[in-house]
Structure formats: structure tokens, C-alpha cells
Structure 1
Amino acid sequence: MNIKGNIHSIETCGTVDGPGIRFVIFTQGCPLRCQYCHNPDTWKTNEGNRITVDELIAKIKKYKSYMKFSAGGVTLTGGEPLLQPEFAKELFKKCKEENIHTTIDTSGFISLEKITDVLEYTDLVLLDIKSFNPTLYKDLTGVSNNPTIKLAKYLSDINKLTWIRHVIVPNLTDKEEDLIALAEFLSSLNNIEKVELLPFHKMGEYKWEELGYKYKLKNTSTPSEETMEMAVKIFKERNVNVIYE
């Protein structure tokens, strides 16, 4: 049986979702409602385009030379790609048959039992941790951070290479005590290659307006250089490899 995935869009030569040049697949559907989401058009699970794994692999193979030259590969992102675990597993399994590097970009809000098979065919996990503070996380996303923290610990247990992504939002995720708590948690894990600190931006605001959603962060600015430097220092002081560009 050729499994189908529900896909929002495809970027054939992405450079920000994992190493090298990547074939990036944006899946449709997400259980989170992040206040700063720049892809709110991926939220609804009943939208998107159905496409088979074989159809995708045929497209992906056209870019193998770019991937090989740049040490790139395929990235599944979203939305939340782990809402479609059977599709993700089958796609990555066939990527590995083609010797293509696989990366999954996830919030981690999914039952761990449903995704362990996917991780067997995953080379790199990009784990988005919105906040280590459970109250703030719920306010930011509408859901609990328990599954995300559980996944982070599991990835460490199985020594799965992981990059952490954390968005710095002024007056929300830039509090020193919350950053310290996150940095100390990550320093206890043994599989974190790096942490990417991402300054908040409003490039997706127009999508919220087009969809008729209320954008709560309309008056929120990009974090200052001083704020970003403070955050970087917190992670470095705890021997966590941190990237901010």
C-alpha cells in the first residue's frame, strides 16, 4: 500500500531546516496554536493536498545531487509532521533506501508511543521548545509542554542527534529565570548538538489577517540585541552550544 500524506507545500532548496540544501515538506495540520506562528495556514487538518510517498520520492530524487554536494537531505516540517506518523515513517524509510539524510522538525506534542518507529529512520530531530515554563507554554500554544519534555528526554535516552529551537519573544519568552531553567534542562541531556535561539519576527502576520485570525503580538517588536546576547550568555554559561545569527 502506498501511503499518502496531507501536504501543505514543498520547498525544493531550503537552507534553514537542517544541514545543507534540503527538500522541505510542509505537512498540513497542527495541534498547537502558537501566538507567533508564521504558518497558521497549516493548522487545519482537513485542508492541504494528498500525495503518495512514491510521488514525493520521485520529486526528491531529482534533487539528490544538490543534497549530496551540500550534505543536505529531506526535512519534514509543518504544521506538525508527527500527526502523520505512518506517512513520516514510510517516507523516511524510502529516503534511507536512497541514502538521503532525514530530519524532522517537531513541537513534540504527540504520543511518544506513536512515533518511536519514525525515529528509527530519522537522522536529526529539530525540536521546538516554546518554553520550559509550563504555564507560559500553555498560554503561548494552548497545550501542555509535558509531551515535548518527555520527547526531549527520550531522544537523549536513545542518543538521537537533536537541535533545539527556541524563539525569543519580548515580554513572553525572554524572562531570565525561564531561560535559565531551559538551559539547565538541556545541559542535562547528552544528545543536543546545538540550540538555535531565534529572534521573534512578524513575517507571518499577514497570513493571520488573511485567515481572519486575531494576531495577539501585533504590537510586539523584535527582541533587542542586548536581550539576545543575554540569552546566549545564559546557555553558554551552562556549556550548551548555542547559535544566534
Structure 2
Amino acid sequence: MADGLVFNIQRFSIHDGPGIRTTVFLKGCGLRCFWCHNPESLSTLPQVQFFPQKCIGCGKCVEVCPKKAHAIDANGRREFRRELCRHCGRCVDVCYAEALVMTGKHMTVSEVMDEVMKDKLFYDNSGGGVTYSGGEPLLQREFIKELLVESKKNGLNTAVDTAGNVPWEAFEQVLPYVDLFLYDIKVMDPDKHRYATGVNNRQLLVNLQHLASCKANIWIRIPVIPGVNDNVPEMRAIADFVECLSGVEVVELLPFHRLGEGKYESLGMEYKARGYNSPSDEKMQELAEVFEQKNLPVKRG
């Protein structure tokens, strides 16, 4: 069996598909959305996160780091020289204050399923199941296929949360084992999409059309981002596209938030959405009405 790189398993999730679910987050993503609230999902490698406010200055990390990435300067200030770090995890093992945390763990299919199956009773009672998310879960195509096969063997409802920035073959491999696709759309204009995410959106939209033609069940998810798509013309362009697709059960509008800002700091990454504000309830309602006018089921996250 294949193994894969997982950065979180979230139990009792109620926002990633119907019912009570467990969401398994796989590491790695081909997009670079500047507002991403899971920056730890972007890299395809394990990473060390550093939370300086938790550091007690014990110096254990300095002692064990083979690359001297950790140091305490002459003034007693704690330093983490990330350019030297090889993410071996030795510092994490000795950091009792949890100021250093490894994000990303290699897991087998059976290890993941052991966690997922702990809450099967809740899935059965609520119409829930398991959702595979990321990052982009379809980048780990062999691993996620095996997870989905095992999930179906265990009678679970399955969902895949994807941005679609993968070859169509990745969808073909998993299609027989997925009950629901949660499919992200950011913006229709290819240039604006490249500005916002780092890539053109042609492959994403073509894959979505193929998926709809295969009679898949689809929820469209749209993050509402200030300056990118938080206006009626942008939403109308998305609604025009979605209106032509079969199998779309609902459109979800997800308001931008800054809850992931601290994660960027812990990873030594620049947070490019600093200063952006969440859209108001009035704005969210205005955008929802665009889809309601086309008789598309819509809900606000």
C-alpha cells in the first residue's frame, strides 16, 4: 500500500460536506493563493513551524540540531535560521514547550483509516463521512485512490475537496469512489486568476466541465476575496459558467478571513493578505443574490 504526507486530521468537521465528517488534509498544492489559510499545506515536504511566544529558552534545540539552524545570540535572543534547517525533526522531539512543531507526517492508508473510523457512528447518524482535502489532495493520486477505496469498503460517504489544478487522469482514477466533489472556483478571468493564484485557470475549468459531464455530484466553493472577486460582475461571470453545468447541488460562498496569519509567521513566510478585511454580511448577501437570481442553490459559509 502507498503512504502519503498528511498535515492534519480534523474530526467533527461540519463545513466540508454534509453531516459530521472527518477531514483529512494532504500536503502539497500547485496553487499559490495569496490569502491561503493553510500555508502549511503548500509544500510537498514536512516543515518545522516555530512559535517564539511559546519558547522557554531551554536550549535543547540548539544542542541537537545537526545543521546549527537553532542558536541563542549573545543577548540571549532565540534564533531560528530556516535556510539551514533540513526538517529532520530532532528539535521538535526535544521541544517540550511545543514552540517547535513538525507539520506533515508520512502515514499509511491503514493509519489514516484507523483515525477516520473512530467516528463512524457519528457519520451514520448525521449523513456524514470522510472528506479528503489539502492543499490539493489529487496531487497524491495513488495515496488518495487507496484511501477512497478503503473508505468505500468501510461504507463511508466520501468527498474530495479540490481546486482542479491537476491532469484530468487524476480525476479519472478516483471518480468511481467519490460521492461528492467540493470544487473551488476563484475567478473566471484567466489573468486575474494568475495574479491571485499564480496559475492560469484553463485546466481547472476544463476539468470541472468534464466532471459535470460524468454526472458527478458537485458543490462549488467560492472564497470571497477583497479586490479579487468581491463584486457582482465577477460573481455573475462565475454564475453564468456554473449555470451550464449539470450535477451542481449547491454553491457555497466562503468569506475571506485572516485566521491563518499566525501560521505564516511560524513558517517564516510572507502573509500577502495582511490588512485585508472580511466582507460584510451585506456584501455576502449581495453576492449570494447573483446566484439566487439564476435559481442556483447558494449558501454562505
TM-score by length of 1: 0.96
Deviations 1:90-122 (A, max 9, x none): 111111111100000011100002331211100
Give the secondary-structure state (helix, strand or coil) at the position aligned to 1:126.
strand
Which range is displaced more, 157-166 or 51-60? 51-60
Who is 1:70 aligned against?
A: 126
Give the secondary-structure state (helix, strand or coil) at the position aligned to 1:120.
helix
Aligned-partner Cα distance in 2 for 1:244–1:54: 35
Who is 1:9 aligned against?
A: 8
Question: Quick check: 2:187–2:228 contact (8 Å CA) kept in 1?
Answer: no
Alignment of 1:160-171 (within 5 A): 160-171=216-227
Alignment of 1:225-236 (within 5 A): 225-236=281-292
Alignment of 1:144-223 (within 5 A): 144-223=200-279
Aligned-partner Cα distance in 2 for 1:143–1:37: 14
Aligned-partner Cα distance in 1 for 2:117–2:279: 40
Aligned-partner Cα distance in 1 for 2:126–2:246: 27
Give the secondary-structure state (helix, strand or coil) at the position aligned to 2:177.
coil
Which residue type is aligned with residue 126 of structure 2? Answer: S
Pick from 170, 173, 178 the counterpart of residue 114 of structure 1.
170
Aligned-partner Cα distance in 1 for 2:226–2:113: 41
Aligned-partner Cα distance in 2 for 1:134–1:103: 27
Who is 2:21 aligned against?
A: 22
Which residue type is aligned with residue 151 of structure 1? Answer: N
Q: 1:157: Cα distance to partner?
A: 0.2
Which residue type is aligned with residue 44 of structure 1? Answer: S
Which residue type is aligned with residue 61 of structure 1? Answer: M
Deviations 1:112-151 (A, max 9, x none): 0233121110000000111112111111110111121012
Q: Which has the higher contact order (CA 8 A, sep 6+)?
A: 2
Aligned-partner Cα distance in 1 for 2:113–2:261: 33
Who is 1:91 aligned against?
A: 147
Which residue type is aligned with residue 44 of structure 2? Answer: T
Who is 1:41 aligned against?
A: 40
Who is 2:186 aligned against?
A: 130
Aligned pairs, how many? 244
Which residue type is aligned with residue 31 of structure 1? Answer: G
Give the secondary-structure state (helix, strand or coil) at the position aligned to 2:269.
coil
Which of these two proteins has the greater Rg computed from alpha carbons? Answer: 2
Deviations 1:124-183 (A, max 9, x none): 000011111211111111011112101210111011000011011222211322211100
Aligned-partner Cα distance in 2 for 1:99–1:51: 21
Aligned-partner Cα distance in 1 for 2:181–2:275: 32
Which range is displaced more, 86-95 or 170-179? 170-179
> Could you list the runs of 5+ residues in structure 1 that have no partner in the other structure?
none
Query: Alignment RMSD, CA only?
Result: 1.2
TM-score by length of 2: 0.79
Deviations 1:21-42 (A, max 9, x none): 1111010111111111000011
Identity %: 39
